[in-house]
Structure 1
């Protein structure tokens, strides 16, 4: 029974991940995207957005390696500043007390997430 409840808890967390992302984005941005939402289908959680304000965007596929590094560092810095200004900043600071394990965990998560995005994209283009 414990395995079933652990599985149920994991599935519930996966289904709520999209809602968690949307809630955090609304807390971190002074003017959130009005077309922002979340839902779940099956055992997957998704969040979606549609920008209709015609803002410019950077085509990262056209950046050289140095420019891409600067771009990603800038995005990371701005995200860190936004999180620092959020109501959850003290909680995040508490988690970051032991920086090296956090760095390793975030790096592992990023690699796994990139793999999942690639697998999802392959399914999408072959659909």
Structure 2
């Protein structure tokens, strides 16, 4: 019984000690990329991305720039990131990562591309721009 109690006290402590260490992942690590492939001389692409735990802030991307980040999935899954993009008089908000998308991100890399006709995921158009 003492061993079980010791185990139950030490394991959560051990896991918490590594939760703040950015380089170590105890679950699957993912990357999300958002690339500005809009026409040259276009207005700047502005984006804001966040999850329930992390606000990645607002970023302005010039043509051909890539905004990217990596993260570890939550221990029991349930990670979700969303972004909102603005381009001139157009905008679109959408999920860029969801744990439940089993296998949609190739090699654990989720590639998003903003083009003049819409938003693409892994070379497939998923969303049209909306007017502001």
Q: Which has the higher Rg, Structure 1 or Structure 2?
A: 2
- Larger relative contact order (CA 8 Å, sep ≥ 6): 2
> Normalising by the residue count of structure 1, what TM-score does the alignment of the two structures yield?
0.23
Higher normalized helix content (fraction of residues): 1
